[in-house]
Amino acid sequence: MVDSTMDVRMELKGKDHRKLRAEGHHLKPVVITGNDGLSSDVLEKIDSELRIHGLIKIKIGKGPLHRKEAAEQLVSATGAAVVQVLGRTILLYRPN
């Protein structure tokens, strides 16, 4: 379950970013948000996928949520690091 009070910020070094971006390039989004944005169900699914895979892509759908705001909320809610925000796609990493 996702702890909404979790605010552990993971720091990645430059070479870690490059390595993870390369690994994440071929990934397909495992979660696509809808009009509800980052609801508790969506956050639980993201947390579950991070536990399983460690590196995931999330597609921010057309809704009220801006991509940078979504990235910040995901970091706060999951404790993962944002590897890349490209368009409406966010690449997240959390060691499992």
**Which of 59, 58, 52, 57 has its CA nearest to residue 95?**
52
Angstrom distance (rounded) from CA 33 to CA 95: 23
Express each pLDDT in 1-24 by its tens digit.
Answer: 444 434 445 678 889 889 999 999
Structure tokens at 79: 């404790």
* pTM of the shown model: 0.84
Q: To which CATH superfamily is domain 14-93 assigned?
A: YhbY-like (3.30.110.60)
Q: Are 90 and 74 in contact (CB under 8 A)?
A: yes
Note whether 93 and 81 are within 8 A (CB): yes
**Residue range 61-87, pLDDT digits in tens:** 887 778 899 999 999 999 999 999 999
Q: Where are the alpha helices (DSSP H) in the chain?
A: 14-24, 40-53, 67-78
